[in-house]
Amino acid sequence: MSEMLERILSDENIKTAYKRVYANKGAGGVDGVTVQELEEYMQKNWNCIKEQIRKRTYKPQPVKRVEIPKPNGGVRKLGIPTVIDRVIEQAITQILTPIFEPLFSDYSYGFRPNRKCEQAIVKLLEYFNDGYLWVVDIDLEKFFDNVPQDKLMSYVGRVIHDGDTESLIRKYLKAGVMENGKYKSTDIGTPQGGNLSPVLSNIMLNELDKELESRGQHFTRYADDVVIVVKSKAAATRVMYSITKWIEKELGLKVNATKTKITPPSKLKYLGFGFWKDKSE
């Protein structure tokens, strides 16, 4: 078995993962095991599960689909993995994060250690103060539901070169969902709500960050919220069309044409913040 998988399954790493899952509380998954019952469940079953993971025979349970109402109408679909799968996903995340973190862009702020949305807002204000006053607000349509899994796994594999770990991650992507008691397979997407999703979404969208950097663009990204700032409306139009084409062709993601827009800062709503200019200056 690979050295990386051994690190994921090491007692110390699993213990840390267990503590994180326990501290985050949250509802139980499809097997009905609660966070409070997790310790006892692991005492009984962990050795057996660990062996199955080593032999590549472990099968994660489907996630439980719940719908959370969005403030602006519509719903956000979350997938709740079982508590034991949350521990395993968290254990994988703890090993992947330090490997990928140095490769990520300085302009991405979501789901990363020591980074938060306020930093993205401060960066954006710096751009505005430097005269970049046309905003291209990119909306990735149902990003988490539409991630092409093969493409994502090729980006993961390019860095970790580890068949055992890649196989385990792929199983989590393919675990499926239970919706109203019915099983649905998941051949695209990465389940929103799982502990692995944040790092996987950053691995996928880091490709976009690198493309924007190579084009010399000024941007900030928080998870799948991307804004690019330029100095003229004509440049904004050019950037919007060319980057939309690039995202759809290279990443296989959908850009929502009705929600993607060019806007002045005063009309932008980003990460819950609005912007205004003090006219008296």
The pLDDT tens digits of the residues spanning 130-176 come to 999 999 999 999 898 899 999 999 999 999 999 999 999 999 999 99
For residue 26, what pLDDT is reported?
87
Residue 279 has pLDDT above 70, yes or no: no
Identify the CA nearest to 205 among candidates 162, 148, 260, 136. 148
Length of the chain: 281
What does the mean pLDDT of the chain come to? 94
How are the residues of the chain apportioned to helix, strand and coil, as percentages rounded to the nearest 5? 50, 15, 30
Structure tokens at 142: 């149902």
Confirm whether pTM is higher than 0.85: yes
Between strands 63-69 and 177-179, the pairing is parallel
Q: Give me the pLDDT at residue 75, please.
A: 78
**pLDDT grade for 250, boundaries at 50, 70 and 90:** very high
Distance CA 180, CA 202 (A): 30
DSSP output for 127-193? HHHTT--EEEEEEBTTHHHH--HHHHHHHHHHHH--HHHHHHHHHHHTS-EEETTEEE--SS---BT
**Are 192 and 76 within 8 A, CB to CB?**
yes
- Mean per-residue pLDDT for 114-127? 95
Percentage with pLDDT > 70 across the chain: 99
pLDDT exceeds 90 at position 70: no
What is the share, in percent, of the chain residues with pLDDT greater than 90? 85
pLDDT digits (tens, 9 = 90+) for 188-230: 988 778 899 999 999 999 999 999 999 999 999 999 999 999 9
Mean pLDDT of 37-41: 96
